[in-house]
Amino acid sequence: MALEVGIVGLPSSGKSTLFHALTGARATGDVGMAGIPDPRLTQIAGVIHPRKVTPAAIRVVEVRGTGPKLLGNLRQVDALLVVLDGFSGTRVPADDLETLRLELLIADRDHVERRLERITKQAKSGEQMLKQEVAELERVLTHVDAGGTLADWPSELPSGLEPLTTKPLLTVENGPGGIDVLLSAKRVGPEGLAYGVDMTDEMLALARRNASEAGVTNAHFLKGDIENIPLPNDSIDVVISNCVVNLSTDKPQVLREIFRVLRPGGRVGISDVVAEDRLSPEERAERGSYVGCIAGALSKTEYETGLADAGFGEISVAFTNRIADGMHSAIVKALKH
């Protein structure tokens, strides 16, 4: 059985980008498989000549949104991968992590409380084991209400509990340091290339340092802006962007630049905040800041029209989860014919 990991994060943190980077074509809906390369398999196969070589894999689950109900669906996973937004100017990754940890704690408290209510009713039968579990669950609930977590419960938890706060938790900060590019570089393999564009020397230096420390040699970071991408015409197969297009004050030019650098048959995939068509630009501005990708958001029709005007076909703008009234995280796709 494959190890199972659940990806969680606040809206627009980039968890969908990470999910698709890990799973690629192996994803169906919100569940996918991330293969674990192991060169030893090839060596063994050369000796025993099996009909098929199946590498180890991690089952990855992307969870939409947050909240106790949604996080409760993660109880079967073996570990949690928390994606933090380090890109938006209004978000503080440490605060996002604290918020998500609080969500996990609340989910665990609700889980204990519901279990206690259920076992208390069953214990009316007089069965001694159920009475003992009721007493233990009451002590656990008191511990959580006092600010403790189930991870620091001093003794063994009742077997019926499946707590989230006891699971291994790995955090990934999206944005600074070129995490998207490093993941893409690993996906394209040693024969492929991944380029990242940033307008600041500090972020370029951090990204290059991270690439060096990770041993990634096929990721290249270029100084420039998205209205004037420093790459030649027809040179790129795939362009991805995570909540960046909305930050530009000249979005039509950004879309034209993406079209220019893509080869015929190339694809673009954008994760961004998109408004419902009913909202005016002023109404969008009322719902959030520009640096938070909300005030500068395009509407669904504006995105579709902008891509079509740039020359793209097979355009898709799909809402994934609601982040404010009339505002949604969305996956935008298009093809250059």
**pLDDT per residue over 136-160, tens digit each?**
999 999 988 887 888 888 888 888 8
Same domain, 128 and 52: no
Question: 228-244 pLDDT, tens per residue?
Answer: 999 999 999 999 887 78
Q: Taking 60 as the threshold, does the pLDDT of residue 306 lie above it?
A: yes
| Residue whose tokens read 């990991």 | 5
Number of domains, the chain: 4
Q: Could you list the residue range(s) of the whole structural domain that residue 123 is in?
A: 93-167
261 and 336 share one domain: yes
User: CATH code at 74?
Assistant: 3.40.50.300
The predicted-structure confidence for 7-24, as pLDDT tens digits, reads as follows 888 877 777 777 777 776
SS3 (DSSP) at 280: coil
Domain assignment of residue 172, yes or no: no
DSSP 32-72: EEEE---HHHHHHHHHH--S-----EEEEEEPPS-SHHHHH
Q: What is the dihedral of CA 213, 216, 220, 224, to 10 degrees?
A: -40
Tens digits of residue pLDDT in 274-295:
999 998 888 887 775 544 556 6
- Interatomic CA distance for residues 313 and 267, integer angstroms: 10
Q: Which pLDDT value is given to residue 290?
A: 40
| Distance (Å) of CA 253 to CA 78, 164, 228, 247, 260 | 44, 45, 8, 13, 10
pLDDT value for 28: 59
286 CB-near residues (< 8 Å, 6+ apart): none
Sign of the Cα pseudo-torsion (9, 13, 19, 25, in order): positive
Cα-atom radius of gyration of the chain, to the nearest Å?
Answer: 23
Is there a contact between 268 and 258 (Cβ–Cβ < 8 Å)?
yes
Written as six digits, the tokens of 289 are 């800041």
Instruction: Report pLDDT digits (tens) over 167-200.
Output: 888 777 666 566 667 767 777 777 788 888 888 7
Q: Is residue 215 domain-shared with residue 280, that is, in the same domain?
A: no
Report pTM: 0.54
**Residue 150 belongs to a domain with what CATH number?**
1.10.150.300
